[in-house]
Amino acid sequence: MSERERDLLLEAAASAHREIDREGRIVPPPAWYDMAPEQRVELFQLQLATRAMERAVSGASGTVRSVLRRIAGF
């Protein structure tokens, strides 16, 4: 896998957008399943930095806003 391919794979799982499966579980995005364990550790750091940027731009992280949407029934 090239560095460019790796970056795109990680970026595809960095947002806070998550689907719900048939049992009602919040599930990882498809890209997550394609990652090696070491790449998932990199993803962890990328998600951390992304949530920080979201807080700077919107006042709340994408995680908090995603949970609020689910509480509101969206």
* Choice between 1 and 48, CB closer to other proteins: 48
Residues 30-59 that bind other proteins (CB under 8 A): 32, 37-38, 40-41, 43-45, 47-58
Query: 20 pairs with which residues across the strands?
Result: 26
Residue 22 Cβ vs other proteins, minimum distance, rounded to whole Å: 14
1 binds other proteins (CB under 8 A): no
Q: Are residues 39 and 1 in contact, defined by beta-carbon separation less than 8 angstroms?
A: no
- List helix spans (H) across the chain: 3-11, 30-33, 37-58, 62-71
Q: How many residues bind other proteins (CB under 8 A)?
A: 48
